Amino acid sequence: MRILVVGAGAIGGYFGGRLLEAGRDVTFLVRPRRAQQLTKSGLVISSPKGDFHHPQPPIVQAEALREPFDLVLLSCKAYDLDDAIRSIAPAVGPSTAILPLLNGMHHLDALERRFGAAAVLGGQCVISVMLDAAGDVVHLNDVANLTFGERDGTRSARAKAIGAALAGARFDSRLSDAILQLMWDKWVFIAALAGITCLMRATIGDIVAANGAELAEALRAECAAIAASNGFASGDKAVKRDRAMLTAPESALAASMLRDIERGGLTEVQHILGDLIRRGNARENPQSLLHVAHVHLLAYEKRRARTTEIRQGP
């Protein structure tokens, strides 16, 4: 199975690197700056699951893509999705499967519009990983899970083949017959976590210490109500897990979106919060915590764009 990993950032670098380590036929689609890094230093993974270094990982840039791959593993940021879709087009043939690892649901709609419903699988990952200043992949704990499946719940021949290709690498992979439910469950949690930690500019532990646990729970309940209205109500296990994580005393947990704000970067606000609001009715209630969190993050984006323009000058 020929696998194209879109990007060799934190997530793509980790999962693609582990597949490369396991002997799979992997090529990384990268931009010029990342291509230069990988050519100079190779792909480096530092992880509690074991370190890995490939001195010359197979890479390709968009203009050099000429033929279809069997599997496209898509792990870009949501704000890079349109560019990624244009870039991967030459790699998507009639039998290509696209496995996206983005949060939310908007990317499924966008991929389906461009490549058709049959090409697009559901997928999600659970991992804490980052790129350091040198461009090395740093895995921050021992959790590395990738779950995928056909969106209609069937266990197709191609899904089983993909499962076989993913098996044996140094991460946990699972073929699910309820992938959309799992993606909605994760979306509810990520939206609640991003909304509350970005609003408060604090970790969960700090929010709980400030008597804000009820706000975190209320925000999660809003997100869950939207999921339920779309046919994906949270099960008891997901509810208990989310509540425990969102109200844990002394927890250092915070959304990656908060880290994006703290470094002055772009956020995935529209993909994570904006699209959730669009699929529900939170916008109709100006006192909705989800609405407030969304406006808060949009205001940050507006200010960021304005100050960036001022720094760059005419």
Instruction: Report the CATH fold assignment for 182-312.
Output: N-(1-d-carboxylethyl)-l-norvaline Dehydrogenase; domain 2 (1.10.1040)
CB atoms within 10 A of CB 311: 7
Rounded to whole angstroms, how far apart are CA atoms 84 and 82? 5
| Structure confidence at residue 15 (pLDDT) | 98
CA dihedral of 70, 268, 250, 137, whole degrees rounded to 10: 40
Per-residue pLDDT averaged across 200-207, rounded? 98
Query: CB of 104 within 8 A of CB of 132?
Result: no
The ranges assigned to domains in the chain are 2-177, 182-312
Per-residue pLDDT averaged across 101-114, rounded? 97
Rounded to whole angstroms, how far apart are CA atoms 7 and 310? 30
Query: What tokens were used for 41?
Result: 């230093």
Query: What tokens were used for 273?
Result: 């919060």
Rounded to whole angstroms, how far apart are CA atoms 105 and 84? 16
Question: Is residue 307 very low, low, confident or very high in pLDDT (cuts 50, 70, 90)?
Answer: confident
Specify the residue for token string 């290509």. 96
- Residues with active-site annotation: 186
In terms of DSSP H, where are the helices of the chain?
10-21, 32-41, 81-88, 106-115, 157-166, 179-200, 204-209, 213-229, 236-246, 256-262, 269, 275-278, 289-312
**pTM score:** 0.93
Query: CB of 3 within 8 A of CB of 69?
Result: yes
| Structure confidence at residue 284 (pLDDT) | 61
Tens digits of residue pLDDT in 248-304? 999 999 999 999 999 999 999 999 999 999 999 755 676 799 999 999 999 999 999
Per-residue pLDDT averaged across 224-241, rounded? 97
User: Whose CA is closest to 90, among 109, 108, 63?
Assistant: 63
| Structure confidence at residue 308 (pLDDT) | 73
Per-residue pLDDT averaged across 137-154, rounded? 96
Query: CB of 127 within 8 A of CB of 145?
Result: yes
Query: CB of 67 within 8 A of CB of 41?
Result: no
Burial of residue 285, with CB atoms counted within 10 A of its CB: 0-12 exposed, 13-18 middle, 19 or more buried: exposed
Instruction: Report the CATH fold assignment for 2-177.
Output: Rossmann fold (3.40.50)
* Cβ partners under 8 Å of residue 60, min gap 6: 4, 27, 28, 29, 30
Rounded to whole angstroms, how far apart are CA atoms 147 and 103? 13
Rounded to whole angstroms, how far apart are CA atoms 210 and 60? 49
φ, ψ (nearest 5 deg) of residue 65: -70, 130
